[in-house]
């Protein structure tokens, strides 16, 4: 008889498969155990239950071959997934049977990635490791859907994903911006790219793949974005002038706005790092130009909703990292009224404010 029973800190499903074999599996949550048992009982009743023998015969090579055939058309496959699949083959072995890959093997693989050095002799970033683990988890999820294995080994323990700190908001100050742009002028195409990034908040790939056909009616129209959502970015006066200069230099034959940069992406990266070094700007990346765009918009009065739409964030959660800048902007705005009612001289306002907030609430009621 199929049932769910509690065993220690987990919940175990217990049933007989169509071959009379007793199956017992543990789950961390009772609702997950009930859902899985219900699904399996239903499959048995409909005579669609996975033949357990498949799980013992299918090899990783067979799974990865099928996965490649079904996903090679994806934009991310040629770069990330193709690279990950080669890593899986090397580490686990192509002839390894899926039934022999356990949760502990994946955990050991995660630990192997954490100690593996890059070609630059550095430890891999946590985000890079998580992307590879996410790919492996997806591979096994498809194997379950394709009846090549019974259960994804990732589900047999706690999450193996590394905790990330994605709240980095390094941005250029008003003093740093002209310093960087001044150093970028040594390489004209780099100067144009950085000006575009600072005035649009576009990602590097969006900038280098920008076509003239996307620039019209005072807007830049982005169709293929990271979040797969269409985005429209107004072209301000500064960027308009830059685009006019580029068009004048290129003529009307070029399809892409930044033609030279597309052919030499590596040189663009090296030139940008060189400009940062000469400008004395540290702890800064090209992606931080996007943070700079958003931060200065907020500090100049733009709303979080407007910045969210311009950056293309699906939810406001990512945009909230700039909220503290909005609060500071509001504080400065209200500070303009100091001295209006005659209670405090404007030159004393900050000292008075600090004195008020130094009081403990309990003192006000005692």
pLDDT tens, position by position, 219-261: 999 987 777 788 999 999 999 999 999 999 888 788 999 987 5
What's the pLDDT score for residue 54?
Answer: 52
Mean pLDDT for 193-202 is 96
Mean pLDDT for 203-228 is 89
Q: Residue 357: pLDDT above 70?
A: no
What's the pLDDT score for residue 118?
Answer: 82
Mean pLDDT for 214-223 is 93
Average pLDDT, rounded, for the chain: 85
What's the pLDDT score for residue 364?
Answer: 47
Of 16-20, 256-260, 294-298, which gets the smallest average pLDDT?
16-20
What's the pLDDT score for residue 35?
Answer: 87
Mean pLDDT for 23-30 is 84
Mean pLDDT for 321-349 is 76
Looking at mean pLDDT, say which of 45-49, 57-61, 271-275 comes out highest: 271-275
Per-residue three-class SS string for the chain = CCEEEEECCEEEEEEECCCCCEEEEEECCHHHHHHHHHHHHHHHHCCCCCCHHHHHHCEHHHHHHHHHHHHCCCCCHHHHHHHHHHHHHHHHCCCCEHHHCCHHHHHHHHHHHHHCECCCCCECCHHHHHHHHHHHHHHHHHHHHCCCCCCCHHHHCCCCCCCCCCCCCCCCCCCHHHHHHHHHCCCHHHHHHHHHHHHHCCCHHHHHCCEHHHEECCEEEECCCCCCCCEEEECCHHHHHHHHHHHHHHCCCCCECCHHHHHCHHHHHHHHHHHHHHHCCCCCCCCHHHHHHHHHHHHCCCCHHHHHHHHCCCCCCHHHHHHHHHHHHHHHHHHCCCCCCCCCCHHHHHHHHHHHHHCCHHHHHC
Of all residues in the chain, what percent carry a pLDDT higher than 70?
A: 88
What's the pLDDT score for residue 355?
Answer: 53
What's the pLDDT score for residue 193?
Answer: 94
What's the pLDDT score for residue 347?
Answer: 56
Confidence of residue 338 (pLDDT cuts 50, 70, 90): confident
For the beta carbon of residue 87, count every other beta carbon within 10 angstroms: 16
Q: Residue 127: pLDDT above 80?
A: yes
Q: Residue 329: pLDDT above 80?
A: no
Q: Residue 296: pLDDT above 70?
A: yes
Mean pLDDT for 180-189 is 91
What's the pLDDT score for residue 292?
Answer: 95
What's the pLDDT score for residue 262?
Answer: 61
Q: Residue 276: pLDDT above 90?
A: yes
Mean pLDDT for 251-279 is 83
State the residue for tokens 């100050």.
173
């Amino acid at each position: 008889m199929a049932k769910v029973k509690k065993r220690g800190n987990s919940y175990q499903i217990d049933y007989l498969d169509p071959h009379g074999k007793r199956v017992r599996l543990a789950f961390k949550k009772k609702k997950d155990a009930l859902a899985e048992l219900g699904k399996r009982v239903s499959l048995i009743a409909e005579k669609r239950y996975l033949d357990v023998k498949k799980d013992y015969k299918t090899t990783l090579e067979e799974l990865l071959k099928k996965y490649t055939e079904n996903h090679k058309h994806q934009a991310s496959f040629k770069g990330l997934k193709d690279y990950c699949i080669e890593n899986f083959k090397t580490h686990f072995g192509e002839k390894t049977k899926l039934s022999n890959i356990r949760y502990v093997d994946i955990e050991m693989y995660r630990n192997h990635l954490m100690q593996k050095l890059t070609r630059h002799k550095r430890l891999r970033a946590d985000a890079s490791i998580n992307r590879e683990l996410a790919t492996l988890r997806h591979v096994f999820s498809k194997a379950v859907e394709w009846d090549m294995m019974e259960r994804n080994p990732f589900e047999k323990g706690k999450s193996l994903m590394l905790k990330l700190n994605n709240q980095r908001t390094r941005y250029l100050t008003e003093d740093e911006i002209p310093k960087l742009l001044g150093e970028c002028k040594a390489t004209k195409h780099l100067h144009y790219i950085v000006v575009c990034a600072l005035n649009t908040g576009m990602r590097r790939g969006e900038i280098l793949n920008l076509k003239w056909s996307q620039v019209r009616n005072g807007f830049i129209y982005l169709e293929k974005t990271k979040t797969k959502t269409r985005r429209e970015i107004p072209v301000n006066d500064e960027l308009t002038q830059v685009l006019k200069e580029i068009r004048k230099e290129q003529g009307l034959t070029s399809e892409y706005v930044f033609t030279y940069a597309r052919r030499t992406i590596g040189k663009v990266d090296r030139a940008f790092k060189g400009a940062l070094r000469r400008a004395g700007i540290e702890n800064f990346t090209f992606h931080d130009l996007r943070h700079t765009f958003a931060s200065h918009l907020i500090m100049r009065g733009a709303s979080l909703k407007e910045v969210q739409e311009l950056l293309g964030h699906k939810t406001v959660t990512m945009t909230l990292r700039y909220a503290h800048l909005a609060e500071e902007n509001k504080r400065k705005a209200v500070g303009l009224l100091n001295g209006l009612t005659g209670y405090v001289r404007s030159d004393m306002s900050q000292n008075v404010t600090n004195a008020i907030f130094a009081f403990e609430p309990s003192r006000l009621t005692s």
